[in-house]
Chains A and B, each alone.
Chain A
Amino acid sequence: MSITIDRNRCIGCGKCHDVCPGTLIKLDTDKRAYIKYPRDCWGCTSCIKECPVYAIRFYLGADIGGMGSLVHTEKNGDILNWIIESPDGKISEIPINQKESNKY
């Protein structure tokens, strides 16, 4: 379980760095974010929800059954849209209205 940050998409705003509960994300000399300690990620996805340009993805480690899919979220009003890209290019979207409670 960890994240990957697309250096080319990153605009250096630092929001992911600010919010990481493990202080794991740093900015390099070009002010681009990178994860310095990938093995220490808890998988909380806080950074992904902060990124304004959708440059961060999370994935499951192979040791816990990961198959290479990448996940990020895009927010539109009350809707938090979860987007899952599988290695074969298939994209699934799961929109969640944050004003609606869980059913369970």
Chain B
Amino acid sequence: MLIYSQKYEIFGEAMNIEKLKTDILIIGGGTAGCYAALTVSENSESKVIICEKANIKRSGCLAAGVNALNAYITDGRTPQNYVDYCKKDADGIVREDLLITMSERLNAVTHRLEQLGLVILKDENGNYVARGNRNLKINGENIKPILADAVNALENVTVLNRVNITSLDVKNNRVNGAFGIGIENDTVYAIEADAVIIATGGAAGLYKPNNPGFSRHKMWYPPFNTGAGYAMGILAGAEMTTFEMRFIALRCKDTIAPTGTLAQGVGAKQINSLGEVYENRYGLTTSERVYGTVNENQEGRGPCYLRTEGITPQQDESLIKAYLNMAPSQTLKWIESGKMPSGQNVEIEGTEPYIVGGHTASGFWVDTGRATTVKGLYAAGDVSGGAPQKYVTGALAEGEIAALSAVEFIKNSKAESISEESFNAYIAETEKFLGESSSHYTAEQLEEAMQTVMDNYAGGIKTNYRFNEKQLDIADYKIRQLYRLSENLHAEDFQELMYIYELRERLTVCRTLIAHLKARHETRWHSFAENLDYPEKDDKNWFKYVNSRLENGEIKIILRDIVSGGNTYEHNN
């Protein structure tokens, strides 16, 4: 619902301000956000606005498609089996209550996705064909258009594409809505809502990427996912968890294409340049696979490969097609080189580190209803913490849970209006960036500076993901300096304004990440958090969650006890 719309002029340019009101605001129209909108529609009459900084048809992680559903409870397995797998992979630092509530919904959301039009491989009896214990084979090239079509057909849902939300309106720890900018319509928005579901994804581009030149955005995670949701939560005083469990993907070299399709699809093993299978020396968890590859290179046995030589021509053909459906650059690489995987092993490398709660456990600290510590604010998908290995179906499940909670919550709780004072302060901030500035820096320059700092001092590719406390102190100092420099940046238009906000989001995430890396005095996950001052695991003191909250501009670390199987955590504030 439109409350008001005004045109005004700043520095000779026409701009608009709009204030809108809705029942539930969903920030981010990716996998989790779209499914949350579907769930609200199926369970209530509530009005929904989705704000998406791109276009929901091809936004978020699944823009290019996805090759498999990695989280499904296959025949003979139980949701608890899935929880156990996640727990083992993260060496215990997970929220079992979150994982079980997610796992119990994985199959239902998969069936719903199939009803919406997703192609899932079935046998002659109509049963899904599993890939290993947890995965289904699909044709997921068009998974995002399928979800978008379903959402766009809903009468109670308004999708605002190219609207980038950058700030929450929180008073007395209760969210009343959010502020953002229309990248292509030069509009500053305030959107009031009784509940807000944040589904913005994780953070890429914090560290210097594998290919920092022309192909700097050829990365594993969407380069457009800047950690906006984390940053908004941090600045609003929400409690965050486990940022120190970074995610580093093991990928095909150069194209940064997935390796799971090779490892699980054709059984390709990780080998070093001597042809030795090295994966068993280091262990098979996600972080150990990366660590093993780093170590083999360091000890002079690189490069490392996935052993595909000797697979059949039919397997070659299937791989070529499978990659076109999710990472077409890898297929192009094979064709341009004139060598198919059967004739040449595929070189692998670790990516730069990301913060992504759908793979590791970083994100908002939530209860089982996916309520954050800010009243009225719910989190789903990669932005939500404690429950790793969500993948696509886990993000759908969390979107569903968060939506059901929000629908219930707004029955008894209404937000205050966003005050004109708050809105004017936000408008003034955008005007400052759009106005004249003496700064000779650009957002791009400061972004590169940030990535260099993180690469050098916070365990990037350059240091083989390792760091110590002194380095982290330097990183923290330099990131704070860059944040100060970002105050005076100048934007020529609303797209450049978005770039300034994105930079500041990343810097905010970096600060919290550095504080978390520094707080955990052990090395529980090689590569993901390899602290050279504390190279051993320490269960006695560090079998705990490292959480944090921004208080008066400083990051306060909060250690919390592990929520183990059968127990449920509830917020008590």
The verdict on A104 contacting B67 (CB below 8 Å), with A46-B58, A61-B213, A64-B211 known, is yes
A44 to B64 Cα, complex, angstroms: 4
A1 to B219 Cα, complex, angstroms: 10
A39 to B217 Cα, complex, angstroms: 7
Which of B139, B213, B320: most chain A Cβ within 10 A?
Answer: B139
Dominant SS among interface residues on chain A? loop
B206 proximal to A (CB < 8 A): no
Q: Cβ of A41: which chain B residues have Cβ within 8 Å of it?
A: 217
B265 touches A104 (CB 8 A): yes
B217 touches A99 (CB 8 A): no
A104 touches B218 (CB 8 A): no
Within the complex, the shortest CB–CB distance from B127 to chain A, in Å, comes to 13
A38 to B218 Cα, complex, angstroms: 12
B318 proximal to A (CB < 8 A): yes
A27 to B536 Cα, complex, angstroms: 55
B532 proximal to A (CB < 8 A): no
Residue in chain B with minimal CB distance to A103: B318
Within the complex, the shortest CB–CB distance from A75 to chain B, in Å, comes to 10
A10 proximal to B (CB < 8 A): no
Q: Cβ of A1: which chain B residues have Cβ within 8 Å of it?
A: 215, 217-218, 255, 329
Task: Give chain B interface residues in 55-112, CB to chain A under 8 Å.
Answer: 55, 57-60, 63-64, 67-68
8 Å CB contact of A80 from B53, B141, B319: B141
A21 touches B224 (CB 8 A): yes
Residue in chain A with minimal CB distance to B210: A64
A42 touches B322 (CB 8 A): no
A63 proximal to B (CB < 8 A): yes
Q: Cβ of A59: which chain B residues have Cβ within 8 Å of it?
A: 332
Q: Cβ of A100: which chain B residues have Cβ within 8 Å of it?
A: 119, 139
Which of A23, A62, A67: most chain B Cβ within 10 A?
Answer: A23
User: Per-position contact with B for A23-39: 1 when CB-CB < 8 Å, else 0?
Assistant: 10000000000000011
A39 touches B216 (CB 8 A): yes
Stretch at the interface among B333-341, B386-394, B464-472, B551-559: B333-341
B59 touches A21 (CB 8 A): yes
Residue in chain A with minimal CB distance to B495: A23
Chain B interface size range? 35 or more
The verdict on A104 contacting B261 (CB below 8 Å), with A46-B63, A96-B324 known, is yes
B34 proximal to A (CB < 8 A): no
A94 proximal to B (CB < 8 A): yes
A78 to B329 Cα, complex, angstroms: 22
A46 touches B119 (CB 8 A): no
Within the complex, the shortest CB–CB distance from A16 to chain B, in Å, comes to 10
Task: Give chain A interface residues in 43-101, CB to chain B under 8 Å.
Answer: 43-46, 58-67, 69, 71, 80, 82, 84, 86, 92, 94, 96, 98-101
B57 touches A19 (CB 8 A): yes
A2 to B59 Cα, complex, angstroms: 17
A23 to B544 Cα, complex, angstroms: 41
Residue in chain A with minimal CB distance to B335: A84
User: Per-position contact with A for B131-149: 1 when CB-CB < 8 Å, else 0?
Assistant: 1000001110110000000
A65 touches B63 (CB 8 A): no
Q: Cβ of B63: which chain A residues have Cβ within 8 Å of it?
A: 21, 42, 44, 46
Q: Cβ of A99: which chain B residues have Cβ within 8 Å of it?
A: 119, 139
A43 touches B213 (CB 8 A): no
B214 touches A102 (CB 8 A): no
A31 to B549 Cα, complex, angstroms: 48
Which of A40, A61, A101, A102: most chain B Cβ within 10 A?
Answer: A102
B162 proximal to A (CB < 8 A): yes
A42 touches B142 (CB 8 A): no
Q: Cβ of B254: which chain A residues have Cβ within 8 Å of it?
A: 60, 64-65
User: Per-position contact with A for B305-340: 1 when CB-CB < 8 Å, else 0?
Assistant: 000000000000011111011001101110111000
A98 touches B213 (CB 8 A): no
User: Per-position contact with A for B270-310: 1 when CB-CB < 8 Å, else 0?
Assistant: 00000000000000000000000000000000000000000
User: Per-position contact with A for B217-240: 1 when CB-CB < 8 Å, else 0?
Assistant: 111001110000000000000000
Q: Cβ of A96: which chain B residues have Cβ within 8 Å of it?
A: 139, 141, 321, 324-325
Within the complex, the shortest CB–CB distance from A45 to chain B, in Å, comes to 5
B121 proximal to A (CB < 8 A): yes
A44 touches B58 (CB 8 A): yes
Q: Cβ of B67: which chain A residues have Cβ within 8 Å of it?
A: 102, 104
A98 touches B141 (CB 8 A): yes
Within the complex, the shortest CB–CB distance from B205 to chain A, in Å, comes to 10
Which of B222, B333, B336, B495: most chain A Cβ within 10 A?
Answer: B336
Residue in chain B with minimal CB distance to A64: B254
B173 proximal to A (CB < 8 A): no
Within the complex, the shortest CB–CB distance from A69 to chain B, in Å, comes to 5
A38 to B223 Cα, complex, angstroms: 13
A18 proximal to B (CB < 8 A): yes
Within the complex, the shortest CB–CB distance from B294 to chain A, in Å, comes to 20
A100 to B324 Cα, complex, angstroms: 13
A13 to B254 Cα, complex, angstroms: 33
A72 to B372 Cα, complex, angstroms: 43
B54 proximal to A (CB < 8 A): yes
Q: Cβ of B142: which chain A residues have Cβ within 8 Å of it?
A: 98
Within the complex, the shortest CB–CB distance from A12 to chain B, in Å, comes to 16
The verdict on A43 contacting B139 (CB below 8 Å), with A64-B254, A65-B337 known, is no
Q: A18-B161, A44-B63, A101-B138 are in contact. List 11 more A-B contacts (CB 8 A).
A: A1-B329, A22-B217, A23-B183, A42-B218, A42-B222, A60-B332, A63-B213, A69-B336, A71-B328, A94-B331, A100-B119
Show the binding face of A for B, using Cβ within 8 Å.
1-2, 18-23, 38-46, 58-67, 69, 71, 80, 82, 84, 86, 92, 94, 96, 98-104
Listed by A's residue number, 26 A-B pairs whose Cβ atoms lie within 8 Å are: A1-B215, A2-B214, A19-B55, A39-B216, A39-B217, A41-B217, A42-B219, A42-B224, A46-B63, A60-B255, A60-B332, A61-B214, A63-B215, A64-B255, A64-B329, A65-B336, A66-B336, A82-B328, A84-B332, A84-B335, A86-B335, A100-B139, A101-B121, A101-B139, A102-B322, A102-B325
The 4 closest A-B pairs by CB, nearest first: A104-B265, A101-B121, A103-B318, A46-B58
